[in-house]
């Protein structure tokens, strides 16, 4: 009896050891840390959007700039494009005809709800993304970038537009919400 148990144990160890990756998926540290950062970014951006009065959503620093609302919805559109289209392979939305992620006639609340929804969809997409594909390369505006780099570029893009929104708040005499770390 002990011989059979020993043989079963040795066969089990052998089977587990021949696979190059673990049978049970391990959490990828890059994805874990990235999602923590994205969740913080979401919370901070929503706080920024809630703090700006709705009547100032049309404010822009210069005539050629995006206004506050356009920056907010542009972040939503870019998250959707980076995750669902560029990384996920879904056909990209047409910025000229698809108004779901544009300001259109949305209220402040509707825009905040839409940015929250888009962050959640992006977070779910990344949670379920096959980490073995992070090294795949894509064309990113003429540059070859890995999908890991695409995720980092997405967070840079969010930060870039949110920073402009913070300046718009200052230009309107408002104190932006205190900076939140890890985003």
3-state secondary structure 100-114: CCCCCCCCHHHHHHH
- Work out the burial of residue 145: count CB atoms within 10 Å of its CB; fewer than 13 is exposed, 13-18 middle, 19 or more buried: middle
**Per-residue confidence (pLDDT) for residue 179, from 0 to 100:** 86
Which residues, including other chains, have CB under 8 Å from residue 54's CB and lie 6 or more apart? 107, 108
pTM for the complete prediction?
Answer: 0.83
71 belongs to an annotated ligand binding site: no
**Per-residue confidence (pLDDT) for residue 176, from 0 to 100:** 94
Q: Which CATH architecture has domain 28-171?
A: Up-down Bundle (1.20)
41-64 per-position pLDDT tens digit: 999 999 999 999 999 999 999 999
62-121 per-position pLDDT tens digit: 999 999 999 999 999 999 999 999 999 999 998 888 889 999 999 999 999 999 999 999
Is the separation of the CB atoms in 72 and 10 below 8 Å? no
Which residues, including other chains, have CB under 8 Å from residue 26's CB and lie 6 or more apart? none
82 belongs to an annotated ligand binding site: no
Residue 51's closest CA among 181, 183, 179, 182?
A: 179
160-178 per-position pLDDT tens digit: 999 999 999 999 999 999 9
The domain spans of the chain are: 28-171
Q: List beta partners, residue 144.
A: 139
161 belongs to an annotated ligand binding site: yes
């Amino acid at each position: 009896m002990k011989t059979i148990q020993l043989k079963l144990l040795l066969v089990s160890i052998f089977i587990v050891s021949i696979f190059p990756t673990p049978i049970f998926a391990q959490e990828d540290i890059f994805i874990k840390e990235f999602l923590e950062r994205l969740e913080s970014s979401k919370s901070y951006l929503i706080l920024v959007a809630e703090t700006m009065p709705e009547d100032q959503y049309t404010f822009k620093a210069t005539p050629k700039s995006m206004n506050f609302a356009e920056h907010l919805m542009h972040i939503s559109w870019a998250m959707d494009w980076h995750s669902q289209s560029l990384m996920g392979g879904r056909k990209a939305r047409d910025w000229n005809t698809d108004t779901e992620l544009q300001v259109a006639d949305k209220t402040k609340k509707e825009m905040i709800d839409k940015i929250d929804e888009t962050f959640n969809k992006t977070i779910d997409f990344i949670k379920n993304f096959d980490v073995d594909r992070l090294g795949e390369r894509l064309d990113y505006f003429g540059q070859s970038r890995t999908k890991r780099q695409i995720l980092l570029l997405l967070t840079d893009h969010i930060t870039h537009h949110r920073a402009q929104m913070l300046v718009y708040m200052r230009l309107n005499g408002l104190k932006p919400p205190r900076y939140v770390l890890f985003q």
